Structures are given as C-alpha cells and as structure tokens.
Amino acid sequence: MGITMKDIAREAGVSVATVSHVINKTKHVSAEKQRRILEVIGKLQYSPNIAAKNLKMQKTNTAGLVVSSFLDSYVTSIVNGVGNRARELGYNLLFVNTNEQQQYEEEAVRVLSSNAVDGMILSPTTSNLRYLGNFLEKQLPIVFINRYDPHFPEIPRVTADDFQAGYDAAFHLLGHGHTKIGLVLAVPNVTSTVNRIAGYKAALLEKGISFDESLLEIGYATVDGGLNAVKSLLKREPQITALFTLSDLMTIGAVKALNQLSLRCPEDIAIIGFGDFEAAAAMYPPITNVNPPHTIGQTAFDLLLNKMQNFKYTKHIQLPVSLIIRKSCGC
C-alpha cells in the first residue's frame, strides 16, 4: 500500500486536514507547519493520487499538451509558450510528442483524459479526428493549436495565418522573377500545410502562373528529408530557380542539398524558409524566413482556460506572420 496523507500527518505531527490544505492549497497554513509537511513529503516520496483527487475536487490543476510535429524552432516555441503560461497561472503541464503517429495520438489523448488533466491543447496528426467526438461528449475541454480539424468548429483554435505565409513567400520570390518555385512540405493533408499551399497558389494565380503539383515534394520535417526532397525536386524539375521550405530543419537540409549539388544560393536557387530559427541569420547566405507568431502557445493556454471555465467557449484566433528578408532570396 502506498504512502497516504495519514502517514504524512502522523510523521509531521499535524492533522490530516492540515496536510490536505498544504497539498491542495485550499487554506492558509503556517510557514512552520508547511515546512514540516513538505519535508516529510520529500522524505517519504509521497505522490498524490490524481484519480482520487479528481473525484473529490473535479480539478487537478494539470493540463495536457499533445503535439504531432518534430521539435523544430516553431514547435519548440509553441511548447515553451504553453509551458510558461501554464506555470504563470499555477498549472502543471503533461507533454506528449506523437511524432506524426495518429494511433499514438489517440492513445495519448485517452490516457491524459482519464482523470489526469483538466483540459488539453492538441496539435493533431490529421484533419480527420472523428475519435474526438467521444471526448467532447464527456465535456473534455480541448483547444487546437497550429493544426485543426474543420469538422469540429466547437473546439477553439489558435493558428498562424498559414495562408498569408504561403502567399508572402511565393509573392516575394515571384517579385524576383522566379516562376518555377519548388515547395518542400513536411506533412500533407493537415490544415497548416493545406493553407500554406493555398496561399502559394493564390500568389501564382495573381501573377497569371498555373499551379504545378510536380513542384511539390514531401520532406518529413527533418534535415535529411529536406535534403532528399530538394535533390528529388531538382532532378525531376531542373528548371526550378527558387524554393519555399515549410520548416527550419528542411531549410537546413535544402542548403546542404545545394552545397552537395554545387549550386549557389541565391544565384542558382533562391530559398525562403518557414520558422526563423536562431542560426538562420548566421548561415551563408543568411536565410530569408516567414516568421511565425511566437505568442501562439501563450494564447492557446489562455483559450484553454476559458474553455475549462465555459465548455461552450468556441473562439478561433489567427495570429499574423511576418517576412524576415535576408540574402538567400536574392535581396
């Protein structure tokens, strides 16, 4: 049998109620009693029974964060933003990275929702999340971040303006005279990718250029994936003169590919990336990037707090992107 609050109370020489007030922060307890109780908790390595606590209080002061993407600078800023905001508001955070595995995502959501968290922030692996219906019926507060399923408009979401990101990158390269622009995407059929491609198409259309699907290649959000995608693109479509890469790891892979192919950037191939990672300005040439919003994580946790307080809360927030221009695009 595990350590209980009775054991803590006996060892610290206080009542069980006093131990409960210290653990659950429900009533002021003198500094001396707090010190004794916390010392005993550490000594006995006591861990509260979350399920029992949830049954009694209907609250754990813990939130879940489930992300699907590899941890590039953008995803890391999301995780840090959510974590910092959670701590500011007195919440613990349970974090799971599913690495684009939908079955793992479903299992993570199921486990976290089973008496462990008060609510959850989810960046899903797909735009088809029918399994979430069961959790919504149980009124589990959920907020989408970065990606979402349009079939669930009742779930609040925070995203970057991905359409504008695709438009701005393509329009800028078109302004430099590029008409064959390769696009290296991480994962197809998720809203962030779909919306960036839609923006890319809109910029082409505005300039009277037809969309060519053969200029798209999957790079799986990794350095090697980006490298292989660029080599494949340039072998298949040698007339390409510019690239738009949708994650910073793939941007690094693209630069490596050009070096291995003895191609100069931007003279032979111009590059615009997505996600302004720290080394972008120090690379040669410095990398032009679409800079995503760095407040997306904090904003998502604020929405989750609203959702936890009012399950009918359904606000959607789209945050602006910006284009940081450096030499890799030819400027």
Q: Can you say whether the dihedral through the CA atoms of 125, 129, 131, 137 is positive or negative?
A: positive
Asked if residue 161 has pLDDT above 80, the reply is yes
Predicted confidence band at 233 (pLDDT cuts at 50, 70, 90)? very high
Asked if residue 45 has pLDDT above 60, the reply is yes
Per residue in 259-304, pLDDT (tens digit) is: 999 999 999 999 999 998 889 999 999 999 999 999 999 999 999 9
**Domains of the chain in sequence order:** 5-48 (1.10.260.40), 62-160+294-320 (3.40.50.2300), 162-292+324-329 (3.40.50.2300)
